[in-house]
Amino acid sequence: MRTVASDGHRSHHSIELDRGRLVPSWEGPERADRVRAAVADADLGPIVEPEPLDRELLGRVHDPVYVEFLEGAWDRWVTEGYEAPGAMGIAWPGRRTGRRRPDDLLGQLGYHSFAADCSIVAGTWAAAASSAAVAQTAAQYVADGERTAFALCRPPGHHAMSDQFGGYCYLNNAAVAAQLLVEGGADRVAILDLDHHHGNGTQDIFFARSDVAFCSLHADPRSRFPWFLGHADERGAGAGDGYSRNLPLPPGTGVAAWREALETGLAWLRPLGIDALVVSLGVDTYVDDPISDFGLATSDYPPIGRRLAGADLPTVFVMEGGYATDALGPNVVGVLEGFLQDA
């Protein structure tokens, strides 16, 4: 198994508004460094650098206007004289407000974000573009015939919508991987999101498409982030009607109920004619994760990998969440080793 990773992620560590306090983000550089070290220690295979990001491919996943905004937001923030350490909006479009895009920077920061849990800092664009390139490169290995590859992405991506950032995510890495696989010849790709939090951005991007099926196991959004998407009755629209499946789970879900949901998701995908699988690999389902509340133990992750290998599909693993840094590496490696044992 190749692991694609880049040190470019270290240029980004933002601030977030957490329960009324402005604090350093839970999503920091140590996360990727811990996972990379664990992968190296486990000797899973070569760790390689990503190829340059294909901007045209990115523009088929994200609105090009949003990409241009994201790339230039920090320079505009500095040029306009703002002194705060992170660029963040102060107002967001409400349920009954207009949808026109403002002209000024503060308005656009609100328009292009949906949460105050991440901000834009000097290195955000470079890190996000590097992370998307990691996913693109891993997907290319699989498109070229390799059985699997691991995209060690940071910042994560599954909350990033077509034109909005939030949830520590700026560019949707899993969506980039899926788009490349479709363009590489797959008739239909599945994205299976295993993060504790719903992949609202991934759902948004593919909701009206039938060439990418989306299935997510996650904490019930009636009580957990991202709150406004991820309900069981969201099944797709237009050409994508019937190609989205959400399996919300209650707070405190343990491994038995979680595995049952995984079986339900895999059974739903089976008859759809899937040619390749992208796994949004969040391990914030871990029992001691500081911002999540599921009950999986480190010993539960290798069987997950073995079960995913049983789907018998070319598979790209894309790193998403997981914030218990001491256990992060072992939990990720557990999934990957389990997959390789049965691949």
Triad 300, 213, 155: Cα angle to 5°? 60
Take residue 31 and report the two structure tokens written for it. Answer: 């996360």
Q: How far apart are CA 34 and CA 299, in angstroms?
A: 18
Distance CA 217, CA 260 (A): 10
Annotated active-site positions, please?
A: 159
DSSP for 146-198, written as a single string: -SEEEE--SS--TT--SS-BBTTBSS-HHHHHHHHHHHTT-S-EEEEE-SSS-
Beta strand spans in 157-311 (E):
189-193, 212-219, 244-249, 276-281
Positive or negative, the CA dihedral 314, 155, 133, 66 is: positive
Q: What is the spatial distance between Cα 308 and Cα 8, in angstroms, rounded to a whole number? A: 29
Q: Which residues of 267-300 are buried (b: 16+ CB within 10 A; e: fewer)?
A: eebeeeebbbbbbbbbbbbbbebebbbbbbebeb
